[in-house]
Amino acid sequence: MADTNMDDVKIGEILLPGDEETQGRREKQVKAKFWPTLKRAMRQVPFSRDLVAAYYCAIDPQTPTRVRGLLLAALAYFVLPFDFVPDFFAVVGYTDDIAVLATALRMIQGHIADRHYDAADEALGTHPDIKADMHKA
């Protein structure tokens, strides 16, 4: 599928919130793989603070179910290895992930609260792998 263009895929299909079971499965996948994936992608993702805040918003039980589902769908796309453009391709590997994530962030604008950004700032400043990578950039 490496030659599939994002134009051929409807981002809206990727961002379907899914039912409760789907959201639960995605949340497990995201929690397990988010930090290692972010570490690998840190230099390619221009909005890592927003991405980490979206992660905290997605796992926050106070976030509306539809918003959580949409964010979990986008974050699952980011962390799962099956992509339309495989992430191991330098430079272009994360472009489809970035497009999906940016679309999701625009769709849920206003739902990422100050507490999510505070958690993101703390995590980015204290997570050992991420902190080390941020200082290399």
Distances, alpha carbon 86 to alpha carbons 83, 92, 110, in Å: 5, 9, 31
| pLDDT higher than 80, residue 103 | yes
Q: What is 53-112 written as a DSSP string?
A: HHHHHHT-TTS-HHHHHHHHHHHHHHHSS--SS-TTSTTTTTHHHHHHHHHHHHHTTT-S
1 vs 62, higher pLDDT = 62
**In this structure, is the dihedral angle defined by the CA atoms of residues 28, 72, 97 and 129, taken in order, positive or negative?**
negative
| pLDDT higher than 70, residue 9 | no
Nearest to 112 by CA among 45, 46, 67: 67
| pLDDT higher than 70, residue 100 | yes
Q: Is the pTM of this model over 0.85?
A: no
pLDDT at site 128: 60
CB 55 within 8 A of CB 36: no
pLDDT in tens, 16-63: 899 999 999 999 999 999 999 998 888 778 889 999 999 999 999 999
pLDDT at site 88: 46
Angle CA 13–35–58, to nearest 5: 45
Domain residue ranges in the chain: 7-136
CA distance 37 to 40: 5
